[in-house]
Structure 1
C-alpha cells in the first residue's frame, strides 16, 4: 500500500440503476476467494439503491473490469419508511448464524441510522426488523463501518470482520454529513438480537471518540489476512477553493493507511501508520538529551522538510508548573483556536513546526499543552494549526485539537509525537496513536528544498528532547 499503479475506473455510471452516480461501497471476499463489491447507485428518480458487482475476469490480478448482473440489481431498494435520498454506503459484510449481514447508512429527520440487511446467499437481501443502531440528533450517517477488535491483553493483531466471541468488542464508526467529521463507539454486539450497544460512559454522538481530530472523513477499514491486521484508510478533502480544484483537475487525497487496535485500557482505539511506509525512509537524523528552553526553536537539519517522518519523545521536567484546567473547556478544537502555538503558556505550547519557511513566515505547528485538573490529574491537549500554513488568503486554514488520554506521571513525564509530512499534508500521532490529527495545507514558501522542520517551546517551562529520530522520505514508485 505504498507503490501504486494508476488504472482505469473499475466502476462508473453505466446502467439505469446507477446512471446518475456510483457512490461509496465496500468489498467482501466470499468463500472460494470470490470478491464482491456492494455500492450505492443513483437511479433516474434520484433514489439511492444498493448495487452488486462481480469481476468480469477473476483471473485478472488487478480485477480491472466489473459487471453488474441485470437479474440481481439493484439488490436493495429503500423500503417503506426509509428515506430514499439518505440511504447509502453499504459496509463489508460479516457472517453470523448462517446469514450475511451489512449496514447501510441513513437518517430519519435528524436521527442517524445504521440500517441492517441480511442474506443467506449474498444475492437476495431482507431488511432486519430494526436498525442495528440509531442515535437522535446526529443527522445522516455516511460510510458506516462495523468490525471486531480483540480485548486480549497484549494482542497485537486484527480480526476478520465475522469474528465474534467473549474476547471481542465491536466498533461502530459513522461519518457525520452535518459536521463532516467521524466518530466511533466501542460496544457489544448481540447477533441473536441484531443489536449493538455502546459501552457505558462513551459519548454516542458528535462529541464522541474520533479516529482523527483533523481533516479526515469517509474512512474505511478492512482486514488484511496476510499480516493479520485491520487497516484503516481515510480521505482528506481540499481546503483551497473550488477554482483551484478545477485548475488542478482533482480534489481530495487518500491519507496514509493505518493499523487499528484496541488500546490496553479498553476505552479507545489506537492507530499507527502501516509498517510498509518505513520502507521510504532514508538519511536518518538523530538528536537527544537536549533542553528546549522557553521561547527556543531548533531546526532538525539533514532531512527533506517537504517529505519527512519525524518521531520525538518529549520529557516534561516539572509537571507541578502546569496551569489549571478550566472544566468549561469541553471542546479541544475551540481551545486550540484560542491557545495557538504563539500563545505562551506554562507547560507548552511545545512540539513541531512542520512545513516551515526559513524565516517562519509560514509553518504548520503540531504541539502539546499540559494542564492540571482539580483532581490533580493532568490534561494533555494536542493541536494542529493551519493559520500560518500559507501566505495565500483564499485557503481555509482551520485549527484542530484533541485531548490525549495519557497519564504522564505513570509514563515518566514523557509524551511522544510522530508526524508524517508530505508537501501539503501533515499526519500526526500522539502517545503511540492515542490521538491523531491530519491537516491539509498549501504552503507557498515552505516548498521542496525550502521546507524546514523545527522543534519549539513557547511555554515558560523548559522541555527536554529525550529522543528525536527523523528521516527524509523517498517518493513512492509509480508502477507501469
Structure 2
C-alpha cells in the first residue's frame, strides 16, 4: 500500500531460515519503490487462529486514513479463517506495530459446501453503491474453484453473499485472487472504491496451476457478480500475467502517482541446499505498472519508472541492421512447446531475433530472449521466448524454455519493443510494450560476476531486422532492507 508518503510491502516470511513453514508477515518500507528498509515482522503466529501461519491477505485503507489488514490464519488443525489487524500507532510513519482484533477470526468457512482448509487470501476491500464493504476470498465451494464474495458495514463483521463473485468448475482452488477496475487505453490506475468511470472494465486475477491467470470483463453491480467478456472453460487458455516463474501476485492502487502497481513472487529454481547456502529463498519482481490495452482485451505491464533512477553508463546504438546470422555485442553492459522445439538457433522467416544475455566468453552458458513472427490468416502473431536451456552448465537446475504469443499489426506498428532487466539470478523481459512478460531465474555456473557476462543482439531469420534504437545501462545496486544488514542484490 501507499500511505502517508510511504510505500509498504508485506510478504510471506520465515524468520527461521530459507525453507517453507513458520510463516509470518515480513514488512519493508520505501519512499521510491527501489530502496527499502526492513522492519520487524508486522504479524507473527501467536494466537489460536493463526498459530499454523499468518498467510496471505491484503490491506485496505478505510475512510479517515485508517489502514486495516485482513489476512488468513491457520489453526492447529490447519483450518483456515480470516483475521483482522490494526496499526498500534498511526502517527508512526512506518506503522511498525500491528494489533490483532479481539474478535478474530472475523470470518470462518462455516457454510455448507465450503472446504475449511481451502479458504484463504482475501482481496483488498471495496465499497459498493449501497455503501457496504466487499471483498473476495479464494476458496473451494461444492468442489468448484471460486472467488467467494463477502459484505460488511464496518469491515469487522462479514456476511457471505449467496453467490461467488465468480466461480469455475475446475478442481484447483484459486489462490491470491485480485479484483480491480481498469480503463481501456488509459494507464492511470483506478481506486475500486471510488466512482468508476463509464467504459471501465474489471480484471479478475487468480493464482492457479502454479501461474497467475486473469479474465477481463465487467462488474455487474445489480447482480454483484463479475461477468467475463469471453467465457473460456479450459483454464489452460486463460490469459497470463507472466509466462515465467511468477506467482501469487498482488496489485494496489498507488494514490501517489495515480497508477496501479503489481508485484509477483519468483521462486528459486535451484536446489534447497543452494537456498541454505545463500541464506534466502524467493524474491519479488520489480514493481510493475499494470493497465488495460486500448482494445480492452488484455492487460499490459511495464516496470515502474523509479527503477530508471539506478541507470548509469548508457550504451546507445542507432540504425542497426541485423541480417541472418549476425551477432552484435552490446559491450559494457503453449508457446512453451514452440519455444522448446524451435530454439533461437533454428532459422525462420521473420526471426528468431532478440538478445543473448548472461553469455560466457565461449557461449557455453547463455540465455536467449527473442521473437518469432508468424502469419495467421489476416493477422500476425508474435511468439516471445525466454530460453534457459543453455543458461547454466549445472545439470541440477530447472532450465525450461518459456514462451507466450501476442497479436501484432505488422503493417501498422512496424516495431516490436523488447525490454529486459537482468539482476544476478533474475531476468525480467517485457515484449511488445508489455503484452507478454516473462520472468526467468538463471544460475550460471562459470560466471563469477554478472558484470563479466556478454550481451548480444542477434537475428537468425531470413528477413533483415532493423534496430532503430538499442540502449543498455549498467544498474547501480538498490539498498534492500538496509536496517537488517542484509546485502543488496
The answer to whether the superposition gives a TM-score over 0.5 is yes
Q: Provide the C-alpha distance between the structure 1 equivalents of 2:64 and 2:403, rounded to a whole number of angstroms.
A: 45
In structure 2, the CA distance between the partners of 1:138 and 1:438, relative to structure 1 (3 Å rule), is farther
Q: If the length of structure 1 is used for normalisation, what is the TM-score?
A: 0.90
- For 2:231 and 2:351, the matched residues in 1 are separated by 30
Equivalent position to 1:372, from 358, 375, 379: 375
What aligned pairs does 1:251-266 form with structure 2 within 5 A after superposition?
251-266=281-296
Change (3 A) 1:242 1:110: farther
In the other structure, the counterpart of 2:241 is 211
Q: Is the 8 A contact 2:379 2:407 kept in 1?
A: no
What's the offset of the Cα at 1:251?
1.3
Of the three residues 178, 202, 206, the one matched with 1:174 is 206
Cα pair 1:109 1:139 within 8 Å, conserved: no
The partner residue of 1:78 within 96, 109, 128 is 109
The answer to whether the 8 Å contact 1:217/1:234 transfers is yes
Task: Report what 2:190 is aligned to.
Answer: 159
Give the one of 22, 25, 37 matched to 2:69.
37
Distance 2:143 2:402 in 1: 26
- The whole-number CA distance in structure 1 between the counterparts of 2:174 and 2:388 is 28
For 1:36-56, what per-residue CA distance to the aligned partner results, in whole angstroms no more than 9, with x for missing partners?
Answer: 011100011210010101111
Q: What SS is found at the alignment partner of 1:349? A: strand
User: Is 1:404–1:430's contact at 8 Å kept on the other side of the alignment?
Assistant: no
Instruction: Report the CA distance shift for 1:63/1:207 in structure 2 as closer, same or farther (over 3 A).
Output: same
Aligned to 2:99: 67
Structure 1: give runs of 5+ residues left out of the alignment: 304-330
Kindly indicate whether the alpha-carbon contact (under 8 Å) linking 2:186 and 2:294 is maintained by their aligned counterparts in 1. no
Deviates more, 1:342-351 or 1:270-279: 342-351
> CA separation in 1, counterparts of 2:213 and 2:229?
14
What residue is the counterpart of 1:362 in the other structure? 365
Deviation at 1:386, TM superposition (A): 1.0
Structure 2 distance, partners of 1:150, 1:109, is 34
Which of 136, 141, 144 lines up with 2:177 in the alignment? 144
Q: After TM superposition, give the deviation of residue 476 of structure 1 in Å.
A: 0.8
Aligned to 1:399: 401
Aligned partner of 2:460 in structure 1 is 458
**SS in structure 2 opposite 1:456?**
strand
SS in 2 for 1:85: strand
**Distance in 2 separating the partners of 1:183 and 1:419:** 22
Give the Cα–Cα distance (whole angstroms) in 1 for the partners of residues 179 and 171 of structure 2. Answer: 18
1:249-301 CA-to-partner distances (Å, cap 9, x unmatched) read 22110000000111011111111100100100111111121111211211101
Return closer, same or farther for 1:192/1:201 CA change in 2, 3 Å cut-off.
Answer: closer
Tell me the residue number matched to 2:335.
332
User: Deviations for 1:154-184, whole angstroms, at most 9, x for unmatched residues?
Assistant: 53310012243422111000000xx200110
Change (3 A) 1:438 1:138: farther
Q: Which residue of 2 aligns with 1:122?
A: 155
- What is the total number of aligned residue pairs between the two structures? 446
Q: Say which of 132, 135, 155 aligns to 1:99.
A: 132
For the aligned residue pairs, the C-alpha RMSD in angstroms reads: 1.5
